[in-house]
Amino acid sequence: MSTEPRKNGEAAPVEAANFIEEFINEDLANGVYDEVYTRFPPEPNGYLHIGHAKAICLDFETAMKYGGKCNLRYDDTNPGKEDTEYVDAIEEDVKWLGFQWAKRCWASDYFDEMYDCAVMLIKKGKAYVDDLTAEEMKEYRGTLTEPGKESPYRNRTVDENLDLFRRMKDGEFADGEKVLRAKVDMASPNMNMRDPVIYRISHATHHNTGDKWCIYPMYDFAHPIEDAIEGVTFSLCTLEFEAHRPIYDWVLREVGKWENPPRQIEFARLELTNTITSKRKLKALVDDGIVDGWDDPRMPTVAGMRRRGYTPEAIRQFCRDIGISKSNSLVDFAELEHCVRDDLQNKVESRHVVENPIKVVITNYPEGKTEMIPVENNRNVPEMGEREVPFGRELYIDGEDFMEVPVKKYFRLYPGNEVRFKGAYFLTCNEVVKNEDGSIKELLCTYDPETKGGDSPDGRKVKGTIHFVEASTAVKIKVRNYTNLLVEDENGELVPDEDSVHETYAYAEPSLGDAKPGERFQFFRHGYYIADSKYTTEDEKVFNRIVSLKTSWKKK
Ligand code: ATP
Ligand code: MG
């Protein structure tokens, strides 16, 4: 522990927003640490998901709040499962979320130093090579109610251990034949303290160190050393590591190289309704071809949410809103959608798009004439200005805006009813023309030229306002609406719903013909949409529904 007084400009306590910041404030005030240095330590064995986004926001924002630093560290101590594709994806995702790391580090860069630390422990009599099989080791470990039994190899001499560990490193033994264990306490009530394995043999090629090593450090040994080497002060991790904190502290204390070792603080994992937050399970969805890659717009991965059209601001806000807690809970996915809607509502322009289009012919409107109707780009933000949409004799309206036999309180178009066509005129439906199969061919309507602009000079009121797309200039677009990728089966297990992409064609006002991949819009009265980054081309515009306009979810 440093006893030096803190220097000018060093981190000072801030108003604590959660229990982690309370711990930090205490440590800063007591001079335990003079800076806030955190890290985000993903294992590069898959794409990041919404749970990681929470950890990223916490790690980076906590450091930022105290004027500190945060590293991006690849926790690559498991050869075989890790891949550089994932490394690139992780970097893109962290940057997209809006964060910049102080350093990018690799746990595998510290393998030499970790090996030295292990040798040090052996020399202190604090680690030994064990020949028990995995099976036997499990037996010897005891249970929560019974103490463990000491391995017959536990009392090997230091020299014997040094020799065997070196030979493990030199590749003399097969996978699983021997392990190095910390010598802690086989009777500890904490199972993680019953001589945990700290090195194992694995003759696998590592993506960074190649075939240099055939022994690899285990998480409980590697993680505290990684943190300490980087000068991390607060190592934030999820709750399942709480019971590992004694071994984290034990390793740092026994290795004893660091004057001011880091402090581990645990917080609750983020779990969302209808959502898997496990890379392994998400990888299975990709490998089984159930989704269109890791960035499928239905995936809870950062890449999927990006392609779906979620914004980094919305995700960060969501992570702040749900807060940091010490107990696990399930968050309603609708809360994330609420943040997305909230962020988009003042940012994106609206466009007229109609799904399941029905044709309207205005029998008293001049043939061949079109006029331009001004409409606001964003109802909430007048500064976003106006644009013009064409209006003419033939229009399309949305299938939901007409009922041949209206239900009660239906104020949109039906035979005999007059409604406002937004910003244009009042129209009355006079006749429904059918195809031979009984489906609707077109609606014959008349308009009132006196109602231009959408108001009647005689004060006549209409109850419904609907939007439209002019037929001769309409652009046909592909629209993909999504429902939950995962749904509960009869046992309450989350299983993929093969029918969670609903693709239709729609007619849009002409400007959408120029939409670029990644551009977002509100489809007026429908929802927020983004031009899909993978499938949108010059000739075909494909839109993902980001989120619908309405929700039943209420902010607490
Ligand atoms: P997975 O089970 O998906 O592989 P993991 O925890 O093994 O998750 P890591 O790459 O080791 O994945 O995680 C990097 C960091 O992200 C860790 O600090 C971990 O605690 C945190 N993290 C992972 N999942 C969540 C979650 N659901 N909520 C909050 N933090 C998480
Ligand atoms: Mg992990």
Q: How far is the CA of 9 from the centre of ligand 2 (A)?
A: 35
pLDDT at 554: 64
Per residue in 397-430, pLDDT (tens digit) is 999 999 999 999 999 999 999 999 999 999 999 9
Ligand 1 close to Cβ of residue 41 (< 6 A): yes
Ligand 1 site-directed mutation target among 50, 238, 325, most atoms within 8 Å of CB: 238
Residue 451, Ramachandran bin (φ over 0: left; ψ between -120 and 50: alpha; else beta): alpha
Gap from CA of 482 to ligand 1 centroid (Å) = 26
Question: Given pLDDT bands bounded at 50, 70 and 90, which one contains residue 80?
Answer: confident
Q: Measured from the CB, is residue 279 less than 6 Å from ligand 1?
A: yes
Q: Which two tokens stand for residue 373?
A: 């109707």
Mean pLDDT of 167-178: 98
Cβ contact 546:326 at 8 Å: no
Mean pLDDT, rounded, for 290-314 = 98
pLDDT for 2: 40
Give the number of whichever ligand sits closest to the CA of residue 280: 1
275 in contact with ligand 1, CB cutoff 6 A:
no
% of the chain residues with pLDDT over 70: 97
What is the pLDDT averaged over residues 273-297? 96
At position 69, the amino acid (one-letter code) is K
Amino acid present at 422: K
Task: Calculate mean pLDDT across residues 323-348.
Answer: 95
Q: What is the DSSP letter of 511?
A: G
Asked whether 270 lines ligand 1 (CB < 6 A), one says yes
**Ligand 2 centroid vs 75 CA: distance in angstroms?**
8
Beta bridge partner(s), residue 447: 427
Q: Name which residue sits closest to atom 13 of ligand 1, judged by CA.
A: 42
Distance CA 264, CA 218 (A): 17
Q: What is the pLDDT of residue 555?
A: 55
Residue whose CA lies nearest to ligand 1 atom number 8: 278
pLDDT in tens, 345-385: 999 999 999 999 999 999 999 999 999 999 999 999 999 99
98 CA → ligand 2 middle, Å = 23
**CA separation for the pair 422, 353 (Å, rounded):** 13
Please give the number of the atom of ligand 1 that sits closest to the Cα of 238.
Answer: 20
Q: Could you give the dihedral angle defined by the CA atoms of residues 82, 84, 89 and 94, in that order, rounded to the nearest 10 degrees?
A: 80
Q: Tell me, in angstroms, the distance from the centre of ligand 2 to residue 78's CA.
A: 10
H or E element, residue 392: strand 386-392
For the chain, the first-to-last Cα distance in angstroms comes to 43
What percent of the chain is predicted at pLDDT more than 90?
Answer: 94
CA of 45, nearest ligand number: 1
- Where does residue 142 fall: left (phi above 0), alpha (psi -120 to 50 degrees), or beta otherwise? left
Q: Say if residue 5's pLDDT is above 50.
A: no
52 lines ligand 1 (CB under 6 A): yes
List Cα–Cα distances, 489 to 191, 192, 299, 496, in angstroms. Answer: 35, 35, 19, 9
Amino acid letter for position 85: E
Higher pLDDT residue, 80 or 556? 80
Tell me what the mean pLDDT of segment 338-348 comes to: 97
Residue whose Cα lies nearest atom 23 of ligand 1: it is 52
Q: Which band of pLDDT confidence, cut at 50, 70 and 90, is reported for residue 12?
A: confident
Going by their DSSP bridges, the two strands 386-392 and 475-482 should be labelled as unpaired
Helix or strand holding residue 182 (H, E): strand 179-182
- Rounded to whole angstroms, how far apart are CA atoms 236 and 233? 10
Position 10 pLDDT exceeds 80? no
Neighbours of 190 (CB within 10 A): 14
- Closest protein CA for atom 2 of ligand 1: 278
Tell me the pLDDT band of 1, cut-offs 50, 70 and 90: very low
Question: Is the C-beta atom of 269 inside 6 A of ligand 1?
Answer: yes
Residue from 516, 521, 555 nearest 532 by CA: 516
What is the Å distance from ligand 2's center to 222 Cα?
A: 13
Pairwise CA distance, residues 542 & 545, whole Å: 10
Among 43, 113, 355, 376, the one annotated catalytic: 43
- Concerning whether 279 is annotated as a catalytic residue, the answer is yes
Average of per-residue pLDDT across 386-399? 98
Residue 79 neighbours by CB distance under 10 Å? 20
Taking 50 as the threshold, does the pLDDT of residue 3 lie above it? no
State the pairing for strand pair 486-488/494-496: antiparallel
Tally the residues of the chain.
Answer: 556
Structure tokens belonging to residue 501: 């992409």
Helix, strand or coil, per DSSP, at residue 432 = strand
Q: Which residues contact 533 (CB under 8 A, 6 or more apart)?
A: 307, 517, 518
| Predicted local confidence at residue 389, as pLDDT | 98
CA of 352 to the centre of ligand 2 (A): 46
Helices (H) and strands (E) in the chain, counts: 12, 29
pLDDT band at 82 (very low <50, low <70, confident <90, very high): confident
Which phi and psi (to 5°) does residue 109 adopt?
-70, -15
| pLDDT at res. 81 | 79
Q: Is 277 in the pocket of ligand 1 (CB under 6 A)?
A: yes
- Closest protein CA for atom 10 of ligand 1: 42
Ligand 1 and 55: CB distance under 6 A: yes
Mean pLDDT of 419-446: 97
Distance, in Å, from the CA atom of 71 to the CA atom of 264, rounded to the nearest integer, reads: 15
Is the per-residue pLDDT at 6 higher than 50?
no
Q: How many angstroms does the Cα of residue 282 sit away from the middle of ligand 2? A: 14
307 is catalytic: no
Looking at ligand 1, which atom is closest to the CA of residue 271? 27
Measured CA to CA, the distance from residue 127 to residue 460 in angstroms comes to: 89
Distance CA 214, CA 487 (A): 42
Query: Can you say how many angstroms the Cα of residue 216 is from the centroid of all Cα atoms in its chain?
Result: 30
- Min mean pLDDT across 36-45, 128-137, 337-346, 542-551 is at 542-551
- pTM, 2 dp: 0.94
Of the listed 166, 269, 283, 359, which one is catalytic? 269
SS3 at position 474: coil
Nearest-atom number in ligand 1 for the CA of 280 is: 4
11 compared with 410, residue with greater pLDDT? 410
Average pLDDT over residues 311-338: 95
Residue 9 has pLDDT above 80, yes or no: no
Which one of the ligands is nearest to 237 CA? 1
Distances (CA, A) of 182 to 116, 173, 192, 227, 508: 14, 20, 11, 19, 67
Instruction: Return all residues near 15 (Cβ < 8 A) that are at least 6 apart.
Output: none
Q: Is 269 in the active site?
A: yes
Query: Which one from 245, 263, 279, 307 is the annotated catalytic residue?
Result: 279
**Average pLDDT in the chain:** 95
